[in-house]
Amino acid sequence: MATEPTSLPVQGPAMQLRDIVLDFRTRSGFGQDKVFRALDSVSLDIGPGEVIGLVGESGSGKTTLGKTMLGVHRPTAGQILYRGADLANLSARGWKPFRRDLQMVFQDPLSSFNPRFTLGSSLALPLALHDVVPKKQIPDEVASLLTRVGLTPEHARRYPHELSGGQLQRVAIARAISVKPRIIVADEAVSKLDVSVRAQVLNLLKRMNRETGVGLVFITHDLGVARFLCDRIAVMYFGRIVEQGPTEAIFGDPRHPYTLSLLRARQHGRTPVASDADETALTIPDPARACHYAPRCARRTPQCIAERPVLAGGSHTFACFNPLSTQAAAAPAHAAMKA
Amino acid sequence: MSASSPLLEVMNLRTSFAVGDRRVKAVRGVSFAIADEEVLGLIGESGSGKTVTGMSLLRLLPEHAAVEADAIRFRGKELSGLGDDDFRALRGVQLAMIFQDPVGSFNPAKTIGWHLQHAIERRSEADAKSWRSEAESLLLDVGIRAPERVLSSYPHQLSGGMLQRALIAMIIALRPALIIADEPTTNLDNLVERQILDLIRLHQRRLKASVLFVTHDLAIAEDICDRIAVMYAGEIVEIGPAEDVLRRPKHPYAACLLQTSLSLEQRDEFLFELAGEPGGRIPEEGCAFAGRCPKTMPQCRTIHPEMRAVGPGHQARCLLHGD
């Protein structure tokens, strides 16, 4: 069954996430199951053709958020508004018409291809499933996809293990764009690649975004890479977005202390950064109501332990009671990137 | 040997692996020296031989690897003649290694305390009874606020960053003369990475130890290294003071790596691209980089370049330089 991509409204975001909550239940083995809140009231708009960076440390929920957008996880609460529908509560079958529009590129390209299929057949499968082109034209389409990502039609006859990591990531990108999606979620898509190859793949992603107008949700822990590729950046910490805004604003005018420490972590010189080892030093009466970042925050006040800040502001939002002032933050942030 | 001899001197190290009926040369004649209290960075992409170089020096490679060298001298003493038992006594005390994945450096069935106790006891002069207080102060030294809790924890109960800290505490306990650190922060988040790098630098100075720091990340190398050796296809193609190599690279490969990271920093519309990928088959003759090099000349395909001086303490392996 084919799903024609409907034309998007001229204005308005391609996808809107509204107050997404995602709880994971972990079996403790004894007594009650534990609940781990992986995503906590996450709201995010993805404009058509926009490149959004999700940055944060491991465990911050950025991958979980990316997967939730694609229906891998069903949110506990909240809405995923897309093409006039709320996808949040759809079953796997309900997601079906939207799968073509929403594609993913993974960190490890080798494990995202079937080792027994030639790359040509791996590329042909989604083309046939979604009736992207008539059956007869599939080989030509595969060849042209490979050419577009900088490979040769000859690569269609190869198997995944015969290609290098960079070449295989190109094929993964070719597969993602082949069905003409609206949004591609790229999860650490360049972090396993060598320095020289990473530049090639980043350029390719940017070019594909420009040429096809596909929106990108780019998940990364590397701020330098996010700065190159992204129009907007959302900084995640402990399942929440703590700061979100245009890339320029995040780098030139970070307001949340966590964003600043992320920027400084890649900075040359001796600026001390908050330590994960400091966390045990603080006792918080009710962690459910405190700011998640309070245990590590140098700007912590009693309010931060008693209350949880919400995202506030216009196009540049941040969740902090004691945000950095514009001037103070600007100076170190300009020198911050050295990646 | 005179007192001024380097701590470690490696001459013409060659390591190859038997793959099927042929031999794959992973390290093809690497020579370098590390002075006392010096941090030498070994940078390169995957397959450049940087990890195999470190593993060869510590004899940590599997059976099918063949390691040869004209000389491997530690404090002026040749190591290649040393028997396995003597070498084991040296490794882990005088020579320590930090791996990318700290989990593999711990016995999963033993607590962090057990590991630290053994490290402390291994350093002969340590008093066996006082190990606990020493272990606690070591953990405090690496930024762990609750040492009692960590001492009774098992490796799987700690995060990657905490485990890397505990490993560094173990290494400090041994007071080695040379630490080989192989991508010790690659699996860690940016913030934790910065903290671990700061720790390594701090304790390297305190211990007056030398470090061979293996990484693919130029920014990290610039931060932590005194000198840098750039590897490509099993050879060192450029070596010199960190600032010279990273600011004024002479070898086109080093220059391309720098250009790539600069174009990220300068926010170019598109990044500088170096064509091709590392890790391909190495040509029989000529320069291994010739196939990717933006400055290839006809003679690059036939003449294998030697290391030539390009500045004070700065050498490069390229026909564009020297003579």
CATH number for the domain harbouring residue A193: 3.40.50.300
Mark whether A98 and A211 lie in a shared domain.
yes
Q: How confident is the model at residue A282 (pLDDT cuts 50, 70, 90)?
A: low
A266 within domain boundaries: yes
Burial class from Cβ neighbours inside 10 Å (0-12, 13-18, 19+) for residue A227 reads buried
- B191 contact partners, CB below 8 Å, separation of at least 6: A57, A261, A262, A265, A273, A274, A276
A154 within domain boundaries: yes
Mark whether A280 and A206 lie in a shared domain.
no
Q: How confident is the model at residue A277 (pLDDT cuts 50, 70, 90)?
A: very low
Mark whether A199 and A57 lie in a shared domain.
yes
Residues of A in contact with B101 (CB under 8 A): none
Q: What is the mean pLDDT of residues A184-202?
A: 90
Mark whether A173 and A89 lie in a shared domain.
yes
So what's the pLDDT on residue A337? 38
Residue of B nearest to A277 (CA): B144
Q: Is the pLDDT of residue A320 over 80?
A: yes
So what's the pLDDT on residue A195? 83
**How many domains are contained in chain A?**
2
A284 within domain boundaries: yes
Give the whole-angstrom CA distance, residue A14 versus residue A184.
Answer: 12
Domain region containing B297: 8-94+176-316
Please give the interface size between A and B, counted as residue pairs whose CB atoms are below 8 Å apart: 108
Give the whole-angstrom CA distance, residue B91 versus residue B238.
Answer: 28
A300 within domain boundaries: yes
Query: Does residue B145 belong to the interface with chain A, where contact is any CB pair within 8 Å?
Result: yes
Mark whether A41 and A189 lie in a shared domain.
yes
B152 within domain boundaries: no
**How many domains are contained in chain B?**
1
Q: How confident is the model at residue A148 (pLDDT cuts 50, 70, 90)?
A: very high
Q: Is the pLDDT of residue A202 over 60?
A: yes
Query: Does residue B261 belong to the interface with chain A, where contact is any CB pair within 8 Å?
Result: yes
Q: What is the mean pLDDT of residues A282-288?
A: 73
So what's the pLDDT on residue B123? 76
Q: Is the pLDDT of residue B110 over 60?
A: yes
Tokens of A168: 């295989």
The Cα-based distances of A197 to A165, A192, B42, B210, B287 in angstroms read: 9, 10, 19, 32, 20
Domain region containing A282: 252-334
Residue of A nearest to B254 (CA): A196
A7 within domain boundaries: no
| Helical residues (DSSP H) of chain A, grouped into ranges | 62-69, 92-99, 119-129, 138-148, 165-178, 195-212, 223-229, 247-252, 257-265, 302-306, 326-334
Mark whether A143 and A274 lie in a shared domain.
no
Q: How confident is the model at residue A336 (pLDDT cuts 50, 70, 90)?
A: very low
Q: How confident is the model at residue A273 (pLDDT cuts 50, 70, 90)?
A: low
B149–A206 CB contact, under 8 Å: no
Per-residue pLDDT tens digits for B241-278: 999 999 999 999 999 999 988 888 787 889 998 888 77
Choosing from A209, A236, A263, the residue where a domain stops is: A236
Mark whether A230 and A268 lie in a shared domain.
no
A214 within domain boundaries: yes
Give the whole-angstrom CA distance, residue A291 versus residue A237.
Answer: 11
Mark whether A32 and A95 lie in a shared domain.
yes
Q: How confident is the model at residue A298 (pLDDT cuts 50, 70, 90)?
A: confident
Mark whether A115 and A210 lie in a shared domain.
yes
DSSP structure class, residue B307: P
> What is the rounded average pLDDT for all residues in chain A?
86
So what's the pLDDT on residue A334? 39
A273–B194 CB contact, under 8 Å: yes
Residue of A nearest to B47 (CA): A194
Residue of B nearest to A194 (CA): B45
CATH number for the domain harbouring residue B256: 3.40.50.300
So what's the pLDDT on residue A268? 56
Mark whether A220 and A284 lie in a shared domain.
no
Among A58, A196, A221, whose Cβ lies nearest the Cβ of B260? Answer: A196
Query: Does residue B266 belong to the interface with chain A, where contact is any CB pair within 8 Å?
Result: no
Give the gap in angstroms from C-alpha A167 to the nearest C-alpha of chain B: 9
Question: In this predicted complex, what is the ipTM?
Answer: 0.81
